[in-house]
Amino acid sequence: MYTTTGLYKRADGTPYQYNGHWSWLYTLNNECKENIDGEEVTIWQWISTKSKTNRGLEKVIAKVNALNAEDYTADSWAAVQSALAAAKAVAADQNATRTQINAAMEELVAAYSKLEYGVQKLHLEVAVEEAEKILAHPENYEDIAALKAVLESGKAVLEDKDADQTAVDAAAEAILAELNKVADKADVKSLVNLIESAKKLLDGNYTSDSLKDLKAAIKKAEDVIANPNRTEAEIGTAYADLINAILNLQMKANKAALKAILDKANEVLGNADAYVAATIDGLDAAAAEAQTVYDNTDALQDDVDAAVRALTRKVADARLLGDVDNDGEVTTADSVALLAASAEITSLDADAAAAADVNGDDVADTNDAVLILQYAAEKVASF
């Protein structure tokens, strides 16, 4: 029995010869053909329509469809949208080859992994507004040159689409610090204005503790306004306290990436039997830790990022039983890879051998290859 694929050769360059019991080599040689609806279909063409590759692409499309545009920067979002449109076209194309499907998936996943969190600018907007109100009546203040300077740079940062969160935070802080210096000159009108601006921040994406402090400062300032016997000093203190509360606002973490990796981890855990046991050891504990961070509404970005990194590493270790070539899916290609190793044309490393031994008898051999082929062709639902 000779291979006609041209892939496997003997040392002298002639086609590799298999033993006679490899009679299903006709399948590997793609010599099995059937006329379906007037068209000649080879066994591999048929099997490829049954493989799980397409479903992998559809899963990624569904994941990307579930994301929120406003969580991300416009540029990174646009890149995902164009990859998504291309992937949808490939997924809808009945004649798409596996190479096209894989390429579409790779591009979509690449764009997805490059998504950048959007920058929150609400506090800078409020700080700029506040500074502009004061500068509209500069006659009440002795030295406003410094405030003017930070306001101009703050506005530039606001207009800069590429400004990152650190730049936005620094610009807002610089303005607020200058406003704080003129607090003792604050009059009733400027305190009323600041209260109004501060209230807008209550809807912002900040931790509940820091919002509680802001609410308390707003309340105190309103009490001062309502008190007919208030002193100038009390107005100045209320103004300064309100500025400090704004300065101390802590942004809630963006958890989109954590949610995505938690979903993936739970999918793996819910289907644990499909994975090489040693490769998902400890994944449940890592997922539980990440879930705690996710459930904490006051979690800071650093904690969320750390949880994403830890869980992503664990999920990356998970290897599907039957995924001999370690591309994240069980397809006919894995069966072919195992057959090649069984025929001693190639060899498998320890991890690949563990993934290949789908019937769990501690040997990776042709029996496993047949099971993998059946699984890829959906003849069996699990190993």
Nearest distance from C-beta of residue 314 to Ca ion, angstroms: 20
Site for Ca ion in 174-233 (CB under 5 A): none
Among 368, 371, 375, 376, the residue binding Ca ion under the rule CB under 5 A is 368
Kindly tell me which residue out of 77, 334, 341, 371 binds Ca ion, with binding defined by CB under 5 A: 334
User: Which range binds Ca ion by CB under 5 A, 146-154, 209-217, 232-240, 367-375?
Assistant: 367-375
Distance CA 108, CA 349 (A): 30
> Which range of residues in 144-152, 170-178, 186-194, 358-366 is near Ca ion by CB under 5 A?
358-366
Q: Which is nearer to Ca ion, 7 or 363 (CB)?
A: 363
Instruction: Considering the complex, state which of residue 4 and residue 359 has its C-beta at the smaller distance from Ca ion.
Output: 359
Indicate whether 107 belongs to the interface with Ca ion (CB under 5 A): no
CA proximity to 317, closest of 372, 365, 370, 261:
261
Beta carbon nearer to Ca ion, 125 or 325: 325
- Torsions phi, psi of 231, nearest 5? -105, 165
Q: Least distance (Å) from Ca ion to the CB of residue 326?
A: 7
Residue spans of beta strands (DSSP E) within 18-115: 33-36, 39-42
Judged by CB, which is closer to Ca ion: 134, or 333?
333
How far is Cα 244 from Cα 184, in angstroms, rounded to an integer?
A: 14
What is the length of the chain?
383
Rule CB under 5 A: choose which of 129, 173, 325, 351 binds Ca ion: 325
Contacts (Cβ under 8 Å, ≥6 apart) of 26: 32
| Interface region with Ca ion, contact rule CB under 5 A, candidates 209-217, 245-253, 343-351, 366-374 | 366-374
Burial of 50 (0-12, 13-18, 19+ CB in 10 A): middle
User: Considering only residues 164, 234, 327, 351, which one is a binding residue for Ca ion as defined by CB under 5 A?
Assistant: 327
Q: Which is nearer to Ca ion, 120 or 359 (CB)?
A: 359
Report the distance separating Cα 262 and Cα 137, nearest Å: 53
Token representation of residue 316: 């990356």
